[in-house]
Amino acid sequence: MSRITTHVLDTSSGRPASGISIQLFLKNDDGWKLTGEGMTDENGRISDMLKTGEILEPGIYKMKFETELYFKEKDIKSFYPYVEIIFNIDSEEHYHIPLLLSPYGYSTYRGS
Protein backbone atom coordinates (compact mmCIF):
# COMPACT_ATOMS: atom_id res chain seq x y z
CA MET A 1 0.00 0.00 0.00
CA SER A 2 1.08 3.57 -0.70
CA ARG A 3 2.32 5.73 2.19
CA ILE A 4 -0.45 8.17 1.27
CA THR A 5 -4.00 6.97 0.75
CA THR A 6 -7.38 8.65 0.49
CA HIS A 7 -11.07 7.82 0.69
CA VAL A 8 -13.77 10.10 -0.72
CA LEU A 9 -17.36 9.79 0.48
CA ASP A 10 -20.24 11.69 -1.14
CA THR A 11 -22.24 12.66 1.93
CA SER A 12 -25.13 13.91 -0.23
CA SER A 13 -25.74 10.39 -1.55
CA GLY A 14 -24.27 8.37 1.30
CA ARG A 15 -22.03 6.53 -1.17
CA PRO A 16 -18.34 6.35 -2.04
CA ALA A 17 -17.30 8.90 -4.68
CA SER A 18 -15.78 6.93 -7.55
CA GLY A 19 -14.03 8.44 -10.57
CA ILE A 20 -12.50 11.49 -8.88
CA SER A 21 -9.07 12.39 -10.22
CA ILE A 22 -6.59 13.32 -7.49
CA GLN A 23 -3.09 14.75 -7.73
CA LEU A 24 -0.46 14.89 -4.98
CA PHE A 25 2.03 17.77 -4.96
CA LEU A 26 5.10 18.69 -2.89
CA LYS A 27 5.75 22.37 -2.16
CA ASN A 28 9.19 23.54 -3.22
CA ASP A 29 10.93 26.85 -3.95
CA ASP A 30 9.37 27.01 -7.43
CA GLY A 31 5.79 26.26 -6.35
CA TRP A 32 4.21 22.78 -6.41
CA LYS A 33 5.79 19.65 -7.90
CA LEU A 34 3.53 16.76 -8.93
CA THR A 35 4.60 13.61 -7.05
CA GLY A 36 1.66 11.24 -7.53
CA GLU A 37 -1.82 10.88 -8.96
CA GLY A 38 -4.70 8.51 -9.29
CA MET A 39 -8.45 8.06 -9.62
CA THR A 40 -10.84 6.88 -6.92
CA ASP A 41 -12.14 3.36 -7.44
CA GLU A 42 -15.73 2.10 -6.93
CA ASN A 43 -15.14 2.28 -3.16
CA GLY A 44 -13.98 5.91 -3.35
CA ARG A 45 -10.40 4.91 -2.51
CA ILE A 46 -6.93 5.30 -3.97
CA SER A 47 -4.43 2.94 -2.43
CA ASP A 48 -1.68 3.16 -5.07
CA MET A 49 -1.05 6.90 -5.49
CA LEU A 50 2.63 6.16 -4.79
CA LYS A 51 4.69 3.04 -5.40
CA THR A 52 4.70 0.59 -2.49
CA GLY A 53 7.57 1.43 -0.15
CA GLU A 54 8.20 4.87 -1.68
CA ILE A 55 9.23 7.24 1.10
CA LEU A 56 8.28 10.89 0.84
CA GLU A 57 10.63 13.58 2.01
CA PRO A 58 9.41 15.74 4.88
CA GLY A 59 7.59 18.86 3.72
CA ILE A 60 4.31 20.48 2.85
CA TYR A 61 2.09 18.51 0.50
CA LYS A 62 -1.19 19.18 -1.27
CA MET A 63 -3.86 16.81 -2.56
CA LYS A 64 -6.07 18.27 -5.28
CA PHE A 65 -9.45 16.56 -5.74
CA GLU A 66 -11.15 17.31 -9.10
CA THR A 67 -14.72 17.44 -7.78
CA GLU A 68 -16.50 19.43 -10.52
CA LEU A 69 -16.47 16.62 -13.09
CA TYR A 70 -17.71 14.12 -10.51
CA PHE A 71 -20.86 16.17 -9.83
CA LYS A 72 -21.27 17.24 -13.47
CA GLU A 73 -21.44 13.57 -14.53
CA LYS A 74 -24.29 13.13 -12.04
CA ASP A 75 -26.02 16.27 -13.40
CA ILE A 76 -25.61 17.98 -10.02
CA LYS A 77 -24.59 21.61 -9.72
CA SER A 78 -21.71 22.11 -7.28
CA PHE A 79 -19.98 25.10 -5.73
CA TYR A 80 -16.38 23.85 -5.62
CA PRO A 81 -14.65 23.01 -8.94
CA TYR A 82 -11.91 21.30 -6.93
CA VAL A 83 -10.82 20.81 -3.33
CA GLU A 84 -7.23 21.27 -2.18
CA ILE A 85 -6.06 19.83 1.12
CA ILE A 86 -2.66 21.03 2.31
CA PHE A 87 -0.84 19.10 5.02
CA ASN A 88 2.60 18.52 6.54
CA ILE A 89 4.53 15.25 6.31
CA ASP A 90 7.17 14.93 9.00
CA SER A 91 7.76 11.18 9.34
CA GLU A 92 7.86 7.94 7.34
CA GLU A 93 4.54 6.69 8.71
CA HIS A 94 1.36 6.12 6.68
CA TYR A 95 -0.85 9.17 5.97
CA HIS A 96 -4.55 8.75 5.19
CA ILE A 97 -6.30 11.89 3.91
CA PRO A 98 -10.10 11.31 3.69
CA LEU A 99 -12.55 13.75 2.10
CA LEU A 100 -16.24 13.99 2.97
CA LEU A 101 -17.85 15.72 0.01
CA SER A 102 -21.17 17.29 -0.96
CA PRO A 103 -22.08 19.76 -3.73
CA TYR A 104 -21.85 22.75 -1.38
CA GLY A 105 -19.40 21.67 1.30
CA TYR A 106 -16.61 19.37 2.35
CA SER A 107 -14.59 18.34 5.38
CA THR A 108 -11.43 16.37 6.01
CA TYR A 109 -9.37 14.99 8.85
CA ARG A 110 -6.20 12.97 9.48
CA GLY A 111 -7.27 9.38 9.08
CA SER A 112 -5.54 6.17 10.06
Q: How confident is the model at residue 3 (pLDDT cuts 50, 70, 90)?
A: confident
pLDDT value at residue 1 = 63
pLDDT value at residue 74 = 95
Listed residue (93, 12, 16) closest to 58, CA to CA = 93
Q: Is 91 exposed, middle or buried (0-12, 13-18, 19+ CB in 10 A)?
A: exposed
- Architecture, CATH, for domain 4-108: Sandwich (2.60)
Q: Where are the domains of the chain?
A: 4-108
Return the minimum-mean-pLDDT range out of 13-22, 33-42, 53-62. 53-62
Structure pTM?
0.92
Rounded to 5°, the CA angle 37-87-106 comes to 80
pLDDT digits (tens, 9 = 90+) for 53-112: 788 899 999 999 999 999 999 999 999 999 999 999 998 888 999 999 999 999 999 988
Q: How confident is the model at residue 47 (pLDDT cuts 50, 70, 90)?
A: confident
Distance CA 77, CA 16 (A): 18
Listed residue (76, 84, 89) closest to 106, CA to CA = 84
